[in-house]
Amino acid sequence: MRIERARPYVVKALHAALNPRSIAVVGASRNPNKVGYQVCKELMDWHFKGEIIPVNPRATEILGLKAYPTLRDIPHPVDLVFVAVPAHLVKSIIEDAVAAKATCAVVATSNFKETGRADLQDEITSYCREHKLPLIGPNLVGLGSPYDSFNCGFIPYLPIPGHVGMISQSGANLLAALGTSQKDHYGMSFFVGLGNKADVDFAEFIEYADEDPHTGCIGIYAEGIDSPEAFEASAKKVHKPIVAIKVGRSKIGVKAAFAHTASENADPDKFFDDLFARAGVIRATTWQEFLDMTLALGMMPPAKGENIVMITNGGGAGLLACDHFERIGYPLKELKDISPELREKIRAYMPSFGSPLNPVDISGTADVVSYEGAFMQAMTDSHTDGVLGAICPTAVTDVPGVAQAAVRVVEATKGLNKPFVMICQGGQECQDAIMYLRDHDIPAYPTAEQAVNAMVALRRYGEIAKSKK
Amino acid sequence: MAKTKKPISSVTDSCAGPTPVPKGYNRTEPGIIGMNADQMVAYNIAKSFCNVYPEVFNLPLLAKKLNITAEEAGTRIRRMLAKHEIMLVNNPQVNVSGYGLFYWVVKLKADASPEARAALTKWFQENDQICTGYPMMAGGEFDYFNGNHMRNLDNLISGVLDKFRYRDCIEWVHLCPIRRLIRESHVNQFDCHADFRHYFFPAEQVTKLCRMQKEMDAIDFGIIETLNNYEHPHEMFDVSVLARLSGLDADKMAKDFDYTVEQVRCQVPMIYFNYASLGLKMRFFLVDFFPSTLTDAGEQVIDELASRPEWVNIFDFGDAQHNIILSAYDDLNDMDELRQLIRSHSEVMSIREAVSDHQFRRWTCRLDADSGMWEECVMTDDLFVDRTLEDDFSHIVASREEDTSR
């Protein structure tokens, strides 16, 4: 159901929902093959720090935890009610949640608006709004935060701690991102699947993310935006970058989005382009681009200008990057046009056959000292707005050493508020370097195009942030 | 005691209801409605909430019929549910959903140790692929009567039977596919020839039972009977309560529910009486006809036996070593009379008897309260599963190795 603006009571409740001290799992089961059992078990296995309260009218104990017949029987209010029962039971459960003074309800159950039960979904939503009980879902996969070891839902992964607040309407894509988090060290601050977003909408999560101390970037996967006015107002209001991927662009995608999460996309895609532009939201086209952009924006400050310097030991990587910068509308400038002084300083870190253009090619023989010196000069030059480093592993390249040098440089130049992005294209040593760099809050990528997309997102957010002032 | 066989036509003529009575696994399937389909929602709501809100049942009807207040009816139901004396259950007509219904009888060797028996009993109880069963813990000529639904008979053989029947303690296992499901837990099922979904518990038996114990009285049994012997299925529940709890339309729920039970006949909802809770023992009669018995003659025997209300369960087997199994409460019946009733049919070659003091599951709902799993319901499905490929029969060896106590 639509909202005109993000509701303060909802935003406040989301703090409890995403950092709960207690979770009641309605539909908790004694049977290991059932979802309600797995939800409780996952919470325990991930060492959730709060209280887990199974609710099941036929069980007195589940997984060693005391079970209650209904929410009303729990002797104290709970922060979060997680509902994993069939749709026809949800109305009564929500009434119990209100009676039990729960702070927030998450309904994982499907079979609502997406299958024609819009009236039931709306009735439950209206009831929730009347009683100021925020309802997340229905038809969602779950939510959580690695900072509290909180993983609630049908989710086999807990992401590594990081800076991206992931708000996804798709459970599958959320799961993909969570899997990526572990595999590729894509850190998150929190994650939530919105599903049908009957009540709590994007706008409220955006405002929550702005208040969440762990979140550096807000990532949104949307199939439909039911309350564009609220979305725009909240996006304009917040002080953190937002990257959105809005699907359903194709004709058949429009139908699929409705069947999936009851998302209605009557508006042409240009509507969303315009909405995002007005709201200061960066729109990603592909899933990979979405991940790459959010990673960088979560870790790095925006680029305040277009003076981006690229430092590489491989001409090929540099050329790929140059072409892609230009292709997406942010061509690199030559180094002499950015900073003639830097051009001269940086020569000290390259052999005579190196190239002090932009990209700056410090050559395949570059050692750790050359890299560290060039990085440091580029970052500290007053005319530069960001640095893109690249490693191509030649026989003499100390890939781990260069990665460590990058970490030292970024640490030393933190106060300058400039972004630093790395490309590590190569074999396992490069993959290891990427993980190492990401673990140290440096966005690093295996291809030039990914890194350029990330740097351009940092630049675009620099423009957005400036326009918000 | 009825001894005269009716011609088939007259038996058929006695069919109740406006639709043809389906008969066994060769019948025309009346339609497919999934257990979680919208049409099933009334039962599902009631099942989910009945322990907390007994008012999902038709308390006004109970009050009227039994001359008690609705409140008392609700209190009694709540008590019986809590004490595991009753359970709201649903018999799905699994054939409609593409399953076969298979039972099997197990006989242990005479020298099987108590430990071997206990291990096997535990294995049956905890195996989700075995959706019901009766251990004959009170003795007899066979030891278990278990059953399950399977889409693929090979899956039952490889996935269940092969995993225990090679234990040293086993004398024999006889697979008994269900030709007709006639009565289960006092209620006539889909393949009865008369009185579909009628609940049988003769008044004299109830009176006797009420004298034998103090846990349940005549009103309690009246509640069970009234809720089971509804005129129209939706009358079992108070659909206005179901609507209030779910937010769904009461009239539509009632209509759908009646349709699924009366027209499609894909489910029989019922109040299950847990005989073990009162310490009752159930005697099973496993009946073999002479091999020369013609099918129609055998079917007449079964239908005549099924006309008697004493039987709690009546299963008709096809393609099996045995032809029928019937059960009745040891403590409430004249067993000699029932035995003679069966023997009075010249087609009957032999009867094996065994006595059970409890049931593993009421369909898929667990009845073992001690495990903490009371009423936990697991509906298994072997769709897309080929259990013959599971592990190259290594499970047979494994099952032998498990059986070390004999």
3-state secondary structure chain B: CCCCCCCHHHHHHCCCCCCCCCCHHHCCCCCCCCCCCHHHHHHHHHHHHCCCCHHHECHHHHHHHHCCCHHHHHHHHHHHHHCCCEEEEEEECHHHHCCEEEEEEEEECCCCCHHHHHHHHHHHHHCCCCCEEEECCCCECCCEEEEEEECCHHHHHHHCHHHCCCCCCEEEEEEEEEEEEEEECCEECCCCCCCCCCECCCHHHHHHHHHHCCCCCHHHHHHHHHHHCCCCHHHHECHHHHHHHHCCCHHHHHHHHHHHHHHCCCEEEEEEECHHHHCCCEEEEEEEECCCCCHHHHHHHHHHHHCCCCCCEEEEECCCCCCEEEEEECCCCCHHHHHHHHHCCCCEEEEEEEEECCCCEECCEECCHHHCCCCCECCCCCCCCCHHHCCCCHHHHHHHHHCCCC
Select from B41, B47, B48 the residue whose CB has the most chain A CBs within 10 Å, as the one to mutate to test that interface. Answer: B48
Of A70, A88, A91, the CB nearest to B41: A88
Question: Could you tell me the pLDDT band of residue A413, with boundaries at 50, 70 and 90?
Answer: very high
| Mutate which: B55, B87, B248, B249, vs A, most A CBs within 10 A | B248
User: Which among B245, B361, B362, B380 is the top mutation candidate for probing chain A, defined by the most A β-carbons within 10 Å of its own β-carbon?
Assistant: B245
Scanning every residue of chain A, which has its alpha carbon at the shortest distance from the alpha carbon of B249? A120
Q: Considering only CB atoms, which chain B residues are within 8 Å of A120?
A: 246-248
| pLDDT confidence of residue B310 | 97
Query: Within 13 A of A112's CA, how many CA atoms are on the CB side?
Result: 31
Return d(Cα B353, Cα B287) in angstroms, integer. 9
A34 to chain B: nearest residue by CA?
B378
Q: How far is A261 from chain B (nearest CA, A)?
A: 19
Q: By the CB < 8 Å criterion, does A64 face chain B? A: no
d(Cα A274, Cα A287) in Å, to the nearest integer? 20
8 Å CB contact of B49 and A91: no
Tokens 């781990």 correspond to what residue? Answer: A400
**Chain A partners within 8 Å of B376 (Cβ):** 29-31, 58-59
- The pLDDT of residue A109 is above 60: yes
Question: How far off is chain B from A389, nearest CA to CA, in Å?
Answer: 52
Show residues of chain B in contact with A28, CB under 8 Å. none
Give Cβ neighbours of residue B339 (< 8 Å, ≥ 6 apart): B285, B351, B353
Select the residue of A30, A60, A88 nearest B248 (Cβ to Cβ): A88
Q: Does A92 touch chain B (CB under 8 A)?
A: yes
- Domains in chain B: ranges and CATH: 38-93+201-272 (no CATH), 103-188+281-356 (3.30.70.920)
B41/A57 Cβ within 8 A: no
Chain A: give the shortest CA distance to residue B242, in Å.
Answer: 9
Cβ neighbours of B77 in A, within 8 Å? none
- Out of B36, B372, B378, name the one closest to residue A61 (CB): B372
- The tokens describing A192, both together, are 């939530």
Query: Which residues in chain B have their CB less than 8 angstroms from residue A57's CB?
Result: 48-49, 51-52
Q: How many CA atoms lie within 13 A of A90 on its CB side?
A: 30
Per-residue confidence (pLDDT) for residue B304, from 0 to 100: 96
**ipTM of predicted complex:** 0.81
Question: Best of A68, A89, A93, A128 to disrupt the B interface by mutation (most B CBs within 10 Å)?
Answer: A89
A228-241 pLDDT, tens per residue? 999 999 999 999 99
Report pLDDT for B15.
38
Say whether residue A417 is in contact with chain B using an 8 A CB cutoff. Answer: no
pLDDT for residue B263? 86
pLDDT score of B25: 46
Inspect the interface and report whether the beta carbons of A88 and B45 lie closer than 8 Å: yes
The answer to whether A120 contacts B247, with C-beta atoms less than 8 Å apart, is yes
Q: Could you tell me which residue, B145 or A268, shows the higher pLDDT?
A: B145
Which amino acid is present at A214? H
pLDDT in tens, chain B (406 residues): 334 443 333 333 333 444 444 444 434 445 567 667 778 899 999 999 999 999 999 999 999 999 999 999 999 999 999 999 999 999 988 877 778 999 999 999 999 999 999 999 999 999 999 999 999 988 899 999 999 999 899 999 999 999 999 999 999 999 999 999 999 999 999 999 889 999 999 999 999 999 999 999 999 999 999 999 999 999 999 999 999 999 999 999 999 999 999 988 888 999 999 999 999 999 999 999 999 999 999 999 999 999 999 999 999 999 999 999 999 999 999 999 999 999 999 999 999 999 999 999 988 899 998 888 999 888 888 877 888 886 555 544 444 444 443 3
- Round the average pLDDT of chain A to a whole number and report it: 94
Per-residue confidence (pLDDT) for residue A35, from 0 to 100: 87
- Going by pLDDT thresholds of 50, 70 and 90, the confidence category of residue A253 is low
Token pair belonging to A429? 């040593």
Sequence-ordered list of residues with C-beta below 8 angstroms from that of A266, at least 6 positions apart, any chain: none
Q: Do A70 and B41 touch (CB under 8 A)?
A: no
* Residue of B84, B246, B371, B374 to mutate, testing the A interface (most A Cβ within 10 Å of its Cβ): B246
Which residue among A85, A120, A123 places its CB closest to the CB of B48? A85
Task: List the single residue in B with minimal CA-CA distance to A116.
Answer: B38
Backbone φ and ψ of B377, nearest 5°: -115, 125
Q: Do A92 and B41 touch (CB under 8 A)?
A: no
The count of CB pairs under 8 A between chains A and B is 52
Task: Establish if A91 touches chain B: CB-CB under 8 angstroms.
Answer: yes
Q: Do B375 and A123 touch (CB under 8 A)?
A: no
Band of residue A262 on the pLDDT scale cut at 50, 70, 90? low
Report the distance separating Cα A337 and Cα A206, nearest Å: 39
Decide if A440 touches B, using CB distance below 8 A.
no
Q: Does B378 sit within 8 Å of A88, measured CB to CB?
A: no
Q: Which chain B residues are within 8 Å of A69, Cβ to Cβ? A: 51-52
Mean pLDDT of A65-90: 96
Asked if B49 and A88 come within 8 Å (Cβ–Cβ), the reply is: no
The residue of A62, A72, A92 whose CB has the most chain B CBs within 10 angstroms, and thus the best one to mutate to test that interface, is A92
Kindly tell me the burial class for residue B370, based on how many C-beta atoms sit within 10 Å of its own C-beta (0-12, 13-18, 19 or more): exposed
Which tokens go with B7?
A: 């011609």
Q: Could you identify the residue written with the tokens 């942010």? A: A330
B54 Cα distance to chain centroid: 23
Spatial strand order in the sheet of A104-107: A51-55, A22-26, A80-83, A104-107, A135-136
Size of chain A, expressed as the number of residues it contains: 469
Q: What span, in angstroms and rounded, lies between the C-alpha atoms of B278 and B206?
A: 12
Mean pLDDT of A291-319: 96
pLDDT in tens, A392-411: 999 899 999 999 999 999 99
Domains for chain A: give ranges and CATH numbers: 8-297 (3.40.50.720), 301-468 (3.40.50.261)
Nearest-CB residue to A69 (from B52, B375, B376): B52
